[in-house]
C-alpha cells in the first residue's frame, strides 16, 4: 500500500493505492478541513482503506470551503465544487476504469460540509457520503478572518450556499452518514439542524451524535476512521 502526490487536472492531490491482487472496490474522495490535512500518512484511515481495498483520492484545496463559489486562490474560473464534479470522475475513469457511482465522498470539518455539498448537488454521481464533524452552518464563521470573508460578500451570501439549503427531496444521495461529537461546540448545532431537516423530508440517512472522543478535532475523526470507511465500503458494494 502506497501514498503519493499526483496532479489531477493541473492541481495536486494525495493518492492511496491499496495492496490488492484484484481491482479495488471503489474510490474514496476525501475533502480536507481548514487545516489542509489529508489522509496521507494517517495510519488509521490508511489501514481501513487497505482492509476494504479502497483507493483514496485527496485533492488539495487550501481554505476553499469546497463550495460552488469561485475562490481565486483555488481557481479563477472554476469553483471547487465544479472542479470535483468534473474532474474526479474523469480521473477515476481514466486511471482505474472506475466510474460513478462507485466513488464515495468523505470529509472532515470544512471538508465534511464540502462532501455534503457535492453529494446533494450531484447525488447520482456521488450517492455515498460520510460527513465527519461537518461545519454545516459555515456562515457563522463569516467576519472572523477566515477565507469566507474573501469568498462571500456578507454572512447572508454565505448562508445561501450552505448544504442545508441545497437538499432536494427527490434527488438525494442514497447513503448518508453524519458523525459529530456531542462535545463539539463548533459543529454540533449545524449538524443537529441538518438532521432535523433530513428527518422532515423522510429521506434515508444514518447518524451518530452520541459517541464522544474529545470534541472537535482529529482525535474524534481518527476514532471514526473504521466506522466511516466500513460504511463507504459496504454501501459501494450495493450499487
For residue 77, give its domain range.
2-236
Q: Name, in order, each residue with C-beta under 8 angstroms of 68's C-beta and a sequence gap of 6 or more.
A: 79, 80, 81, 82, 117, 121, 161
| Average pLDDT taken over every residue of the chain | 96
pLDDT at 199: 95
Helix (H) or strand (E) holding 105: strand 103-108
Rounded Cα distance between 205 and 114, Å, is: 17
Instruction: Identify the band that residue 23 occupies on the pLDDT scale cut at 50, 70 and 90.
Output: confident
The number of domains in the chain is 1
**Phi, psi of 9, deg, nearest 5:** 50, 40
Task: Please check whether residue 30 is in contact with residue 61, taking contact to mean a CB–CB distance below 8 angstroms.
Answer: no
> Residue 77 has what pLDDT?
97
**Predicted pLDDT at 79:** 98
Beta-carbon count within 10 A of 5 CB: 12
CA dihedral 116, 122, 126, 130 (to 10 degrees): 10
C-alpha cell at 14: 494525495
Torsion of CA 233, 239, 29, 49, to 10 degrees: 20
- pLDDT-wise least confident of 19-23, 107-111, 151-155, 172-176: 19-23
Average pLDDT over residues 200-213: 95
Q: Tell me the residue length of the chain.
A: 239
| Beta-bridge partner residues of 128 | 175
The CATH number of whichever domain residue 15 belongs to comes to 3.40.50.1820
Amino acid at each position: 500500500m502506497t501514498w503519493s502526490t499526483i496532479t489531477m487536472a493541473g492541481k495536486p492531490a494525495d493518492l492511496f493505492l491499496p495492496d490488492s491482487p484484484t481491482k479495488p472496490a471503489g474510490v474514496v474522495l476525501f475533502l480536507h478541513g481548514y487545516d489542509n490535512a489529508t489522509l496521507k500518512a494517517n495510519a488509521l484511515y490508511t489501514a481501513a482503506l487497505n482492509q476494504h481495498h479502497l483507493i483514496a483520492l485527496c485533492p488539495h484545496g487550501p481554505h476553499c470551503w469546497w463550495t460552488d463559489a469561485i475562490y481565486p486562490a483555488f481557481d479563477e474560473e472554476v469553483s471547487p465544487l465544479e472542479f470535483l464534479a468534473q474532474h474526479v470522475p474523469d480521473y477515476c475513469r481514466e486511471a482505474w476504469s472506475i466510474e460513478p457511482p462507485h466513488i464515495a465522498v468523505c470529509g472532515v470539518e470544512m471538508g465534511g460540509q464540502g462532501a455534503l455539498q457535492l453529494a446533494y448537488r450531484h447525488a447520482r454521481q456521488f450517492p455515498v457520503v460520510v460527513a465527519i464533524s461537518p461545519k454545516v452552518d459555515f456562515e457563522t464563521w463569516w467576519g472572523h478572518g477566515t477565507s469566507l470573508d474573501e469568498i462571500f460578500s456578507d454572512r447572508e451570501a454565505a448562508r445561501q450556499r450552505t448544504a442545508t439549503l441545497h437538499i432536494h427531496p427527490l434527488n438525494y444521495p442514497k447513503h448518508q452518514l453524519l458523525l459529530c461529537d456531542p462535545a463539539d461546540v463548533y459543529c454540533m448545532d449545524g449538524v443537529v439542524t441538518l438532521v432535523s431537516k433530513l428527518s422532515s423530508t423522510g429521506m434515508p440517512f444514518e447518524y451518530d451524535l452520541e459517541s464522544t472522543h474529545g470534541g472537535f478535532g482529529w482525535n474524534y475523526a481518527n476514532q471514526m476512521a473504521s466506522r466511516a470507511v466500513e460504511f463507504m465500503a459496504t454501501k459501494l458494494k450495493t450499487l
